[in-house]
Amino acid sequence: MKYTGNTISKPVVGKEAKALVKAVKSGGYIANEQGIATAKRIAEQIVKRETDAGDKI
């Protein structure tokens, strides 16, 4: 999967990996305040970049 933002992926291991597998199997998700804030910031950057590119056409 390609990301349009500047992201750095890290492997998921240990307790976090088990929790992630459990969430995926149950159709749930895992999130914390810092993760939600990061996702919002990335989304805002992408929208701004697309909006700015649209203004130049």
Q: What share of the chain is helix, strand, coil (3-state, %, to 5)?
A: 65, 0, 35
Q: Which pLDDT tens digit goes with each residue over 1-56?
A: 565 667 677 788 899 889 889 999 999 888 888 888 988 999 999 999 888 877 66
The pLDDT assigned to 45 comes to: 92
State the residue for tokens 């750095």.
Answer: 8
The pLDDT assigned to 29 comes to: 82
The pLDDT assigned to 32 comes to: 84
